[in-house]
Structure 1
Amino acid sequence: MSERISVVIYYDGKVRYTKNGVIFLSENTPRLVFNQNIDLTELCKRIRRKIFGTTPMKVLSIKYQFCASVDPVTSDSFDIKCAHGLEAMVQTHLASGAPYLELYVQFVSLNDTFATAIREEYTTPA
């Protein structure tokens, strides 16, 4: 049986870099639980649905925060861009024994993406 992973999702906020590392800030922090063997496409879909329901949004980026050093406590982050990054995040999280992991997610509206693509298509010189 696959181990379940609890996640706190930060979005629509800020990513701050301090002397003790990275801090995710957000007014809303929904929670999500998923199996450790989830694929990146499914994770993006579940995050999007959790936050926006049926609103046409797309996950633009996912950043994972992890403890880089215990003495003093320092955190770092990395972008999850592919299956290997997702696997590394899951393994790092499971090895840490932390009760949950923290993700900062950026979204883009599918309508904005389509409008930008159309604009670029018709304004680019031939």
Structure 2
Amino acid sequence: MEKTHNYTFTLQKYMLLQEQHEQLSSNLEQIRPRKSSTSSGSTVSSPATSPSRGWEDRSQEALDTIVDEDTIFKISAEEQRLFDINESIKRALTELLNCDAVRDDIKTRMWAQTRLMETEKELRSGRRRRSSPGME
């Protein structure tokens, strides 16, 4: 009975964390600066064929992404919250993988392993983004 309870509790915890993850990701999408999408942006020739034009377009892109300090602070705080939630998701998935019910069910085990790998990849991506500001 306790083993089943542990599995159910951990799965519910994971589902709640996943919901929080989706909400935070959506919120981050809304507050992160968007690169302007002009009609000329889709028809720009490569820098190899038109070096000066490619340079001008890249510098314009950089100008489009300048944001105020308040927005940068909000983004940083939300990214930290997302990182913390991803760490919790990683722990929950590891707990699930240690449950007998998951060990005995190959489909559930494969699902949990896949989600764990995706979460670890997202954590690495978040660390890189934080360690190199301005590079996204």
TM-score by length of 1: 0.23
Q: As a proportion of its length, which structure holds more strand?
A: 1
Q: As a proportion of its length, which structure holds more helix?
A: 2
